[in-house]
Chain A
Amino acid sequence: MSDIALEVRDLVKTFSLDGTTIHAVDHVSFQVKFGEFVALVGPSGSGKTTMLSILAALLTPTDGQVLIDGQDLAKMGEKQRVKLRREKIGFTFQSNNLIPFLSARENVEFMLRLNGKLDHASRIRSDELLARLGLAERLHNLPAQMSGGQQQRVAIARALIHNPALVLADEPTASLDTERAFQVVKTFANLIHENERAGIIVTHDLRMCQFVDRVLQMQDGKLIRVYEDKDEIMELATATIH
């Protein structure tokens, strides 16, 4: 089995607006290995959310290739893409992450139900994961009865519970205070590493980069720089703090 969870080859996404062609993603290539946590950063309009939508099989690229766990998105029909999202991808969104009428435990278990994997053992695993995220006392709470940080942690548990190849997080800390944001991303990073999944976090908050293994910086749809050196990454993260 390959250790590459995600491979992006020369990816292009263009939009047409009032007769003008906009290159939201402009010939981008990179790989993410299993057990690697990567940050996708850049200013607003740099193309990072578009990139994430393509990686999540929610948006079709104009050109180029995306392979998730060896499966080429371009060769898939809609049903296969739905199946891929269900089995191979875990997803947390900026907000409105959870099904509002399901409790924390039910939200996580729903991912197992979708995949036909809900049994006694997986239920225990689900409760343990929520406990690990500090939500042991909140299993039966509905999303509306939890804070934003708690909701994000439930979403993280849901994104990981079915052991997907790729976990995508779109600005998961956008609505959180600094302390909770650090706590959420740190836990996320730990779980990605422990479970040997590939994780990509899209963030405009460079401080969150201190928890990742690699930083991909985008601007005007292009991948302009890749930070791989730990010192460089810490410098990038801490520079914004001071």
Chain B
Amino acid sequence: MKSIYLATYLALKEVFRNKGRFFLVALVIALITLLVLFIAALGEGLGNGNRQYIANLDAQLVVFLEKSDYIISSSRLETNTARSIRRVDGVADAGAIYTSSTEIVSLDEPLKVSMLGAEPGRPGMPPILQGREFRTGEARETVIDRNVALRTNIRVGDTIKIRSTQGTKDEFFELEVVGLVDGQSYFFQPTIFVPAATWEKIRPQSESELNSDTPYPNIIAVKLQDPTQIEAMSALLMERVPNIEVADIQTTINNIPGYSAQQGTVQTQAVFTLLIGILVIGGFFQIQILQKVPQIGVLKAIGSANGMVGLSAVIQIIVVTALGVGIGGGLTYLFSLGFPPTIPLVFNGVNSLVAVILLLLIGPIGGMVSIIYAVRIEPLKALRLG
């Protein structure tokens, strides 16, 4: 107990009496914190933009065409597949999902969006935040993501015009906005939802596809009666329904083109930033300890225990690191307020917490070598080095 008190006394006195030097070290840690938190937020934001719609599905399984390798754009299912799936015991509901991209042109600046066909009230259709769901059939109605509404000032009741290239011509279609949904970004684009039959009519398509009026879903979202029976139900579905393969939500997300590579890149950046942080901070504390060798010698010669000297170094590193992480966190918050909404920064509580914990650890980890050196050095040697 006395050692902890003495170690804290020495550590804090030194920080207090050398405020400028320690503030500079804390500032470097703050900049590393800023970088790590921004990379984490960017990773979360980019990931969100890619996976948000799939991650928020009210379903546990996703059905693909057999051998499509769980890639949504490669999968094209038969129209009656959803009905077959619904008949399997243990399935609560199943909803067909149709994906494509289009462009809203009735704006000052055209806006690229993901256009998803879905069935009202079934998995795949997100809950309505404002307004109502669209009617089925070929109703020229749409439900849009709140992100589209925020960016464009489109409101429920407005009519939007979209452009789709069909064959070799640009075709324009008008849709009435009847509702809003929230948090449904897909493939880095905000989404608009339309009925399946309407989707088939207005989606971009090649010359050969123009003659067909039958919409083929890309995937089917399956909601289970018992959400814990994912593996068993996956096997059962593949056994009962021909020509399909089944994946859980995470597998589906991981197979979104570019998602894994993108997340891997961002995570690698974060890991390297942390490693660089450990080296930089470790270097700082190593130099500091080397400068303090004579002082350590005096402390040990007059009867300070090794443990107390080491503990003092640890406490000092923790205090300075915590100060740096605190400043860095504050700076991150201030900067995030000034960033435009087009930059996909999402500060996820868990990710930020993990990053902060790792950042708090980089000081002691980085300073480990110098702490061991401080503890091990013989007092006589330390005095001579002075």
What is A's interface to B at a CB cutoff of 8 Å? 53, 56, 58-59, 79, 82-87, 89, 91, 93, 95-102, 106, 111, 113-116, 142, 158
* Pairwise interchain contact A96-B303, C-beta atoms closer than 8 A: no
Using known A-B contacts A93-B383, A95-B386, A102-B13, determine if residue A114 contacts B294 with beta carbons closer than 8 Å: no
Q: Which residues of A contact B383 (CB under 8 A)?
A: 58, 93, 96
CA distance A100 to B16 in the complex (A): 12
Q: Does the CB pair B302–A91 fall under 8 Å?
A: yes
- Contacts A58-B380, A101-B17, A101-B18; is A93 near B6 (CB within 8 Å)? no
Instruction: Report A198 CB to chain B, min CB distance, Å.
Output: 17
Q: How far apart are A174's CB and chain B's nearest CB, in angstroms?
A: 13
Known A96-B386, A101-B18; contact A158-B380, beta-carbon cutoff 8 A:
no
Contact B2 A101 (CB under 8 A): no
A141 nearest CB across to chain B (Å): 12
Tell me which of A59, A85, A97, A99 contacts B303 (CB under 8 A): A85
Q: Contact: A93 with B17, CB < 8 Å?
A: no
Is A85's CB under 8 angstroms from B9's CB? no
Task: Answer yes or no: B377 CB below 8 A from chain A CBs.
Answer: no
Q: Which B residues are CB-close (under 8 A) to A98?
A: 298
Residues of B close to A59: CB separation below 8 A: 380
Docked Cα-Cα span, A85 to B302, in Å, equals 6
Taking the complex as formed, is B275 at the interface, i.e. its CB lies under 8 A from any CB of chain A?
no
A101, A111, A116: which contacts B13 (Cβ < 8 A)? A101
Given A79-B305, A114-B303, are A96 and B380 neighbors across the interface (CB < 8 Å)? no
Task: List A contacts of B298 (CB < 8 A).
Answer: 93, 96-99
> Do A58 and B295 form a contact, CB below 8 Å, given A114-B6, A158-B302?
no
Question: Which one of A53, A99, A116 lies within 8 Å of B2 (CB-CB)?
Answer: A116
* B380 proximity list for chain A (CB < 8 A): 53, 58-59
Q: Tell me the bound Cα distance from A93 to B301 in angstroms.
A: 10
- Chain B, residues 293-311, CB within 8 Å of chain A (1/0): the string is 0110111111111100000
**Once bound together, how far apart are the Cα atoms of A16 and B306, in whole Å?**
28
Count how many pairs of residues, one from A and one from B, have CB atoms less than 8 Å apart in the complex.
62
Interface members, chain B 266-321 (any A CB < 8 Å): 294-295, 297-306
Instruction: Select which of B2, B14, B379 is within 8 A of A58 by beta carbon.
Output: B379
Residues of B within 8 A of A93 (CB): 298, 301, 383
Within 8 A of A (CB), among B77-135: none
Give chain A residues whose Cβ lies under 8 Å from the Cβ of B378. Answer: 58
Contact B302 A86 (CB under 8 A): yes
**In the complex, A104→B379 CA distance in Å?**
22
A99 touches B6 (CB 8 A): no
Given contacts A53-B380, A113-B6, contact A100 B302 (CB under 8 A): no
- Please determine whether B295 and A100 come into contact, CB atoms closer than 8 angstroms: yes
Question: Within 8 Å CB of B305, what residues of A?
Answer: 79, 82
- Kindly name the residue among B14, B301, B303, B386 whose own CB sees the greatest number of chain A CB atoms within 10 A: B303
Q: Chain B, 198-223, contact with A by CB distance < 8 Å: what is the 0/1 string?
A: 00000000000000000000000000
For A111, what are the chain B residues with a Cβ–Cβ distance below 8 Å? 302
Helix, strand, loop or mixed for chain B's interface? helix
List of A residues within 8 angstroms of B17 by Cβ: 101-102, 142
- Which residues of the other chain, B, contact A84 by a CB distance below 8 angstroms? 303
Taking a contact as CB atoms under 8 Å apart, the answer to whether B303 and A87 are in contact is yes
- The answer to whether A113 touches B9 (Cβ under 8 A) is yes
How many residues on chain B are close to A (CB under 8 Å)?
Answer: 26
A91 cross-chain contacts in B, Cβ below 8 A: 301-302
A53–B9 alpha-carbon span in the complex (Å): 28
The proximity string for B residues 12-42 relative to A, scoring 1 for CB distances below 8 Å and 0 otherwise, is: 0110111000000000000000000000000
Give A106's nearest chain B residue, CB to CB. B13
Closest to B302 in A: A91
Minimum Cβ distance to chain A for residue B240 (Å): 74
In the complex, the chain A residue whose C-beta lies closest to that of B15 is A101
By a CB distance below 8 angstroms, the chain A residues around B297 are: 96
Residues from chain A with a CB closer than 8 A to the CB of B379 are 58
Chain A residues, Cβ within 8 Å of B294: 96
Contact A101 B303 (CB under 8 A): no
Flag if B302 contacts A114 (CB, 8 Å): yes
Would you call B303 and A86 a contact (CB within 8 A)? yes
- Which residues of chain B have C-beta atoms less than 8 A from A102's C-beta? 13, 17
10 contacts between A and B (CB under 8 A): A58-B301, A59-B380, A86-B303, A96-B295, A101-B16, A101-B18, A114-B6, A114-B304, A115-B303, A116-B2
Chain A residues near B6: list those with CB within 8 A: 113-114
Residues of A within 8 A of B9 (CB): 113
Within the complex, what minimum Cβ distance (angstroms) separates A45 from chain B? Answer: 15
List, in ascending order, chain A residues with CB within 8 A of B16's CB: 101
Residues of A within 8 A of B2 (CB): 116
- Least Cβ–Cβ distance between B288 and chain A, in angstroms: 12
A101 CB contact (under 8 Å) in B14, B301, B302, B386: B14
Given contacts A96-B298, A100-B295, 10 further A-B contacts (CB under 8 A): A79-B305, A86-B304, A87-B303, A91-B301, A99-B295, A101-B13, A102-B17, A106-B13, A114-B302, A158-B302
Distance to closest chain B CB from A140 (angstroms): 12
Complex-state Cα separation, A158 to B304, whole angstroms? 14
Separation of A71 and B305 alpha carbons in the complex (Å):
19
Residue numbers in B under 8 Å from A58 (CB-CB) = 301, 378-380, 383
B378 CB to closest chain A CB (Å) equals 8
CB nearest neighbor in A for B306: A82
A91 to B10 CA separation, bound complex (whole angstroms): 19
User: Which 9 pairs from chain A and chain B are nearest by CB?
Assistant: A86-B303, A101-B17, A85-B303, A96-B294, A96-B386, A58-B380, A101-B14, A82-B305, A58-B379
A91→B18 CA distance, assembly (Å)? 26
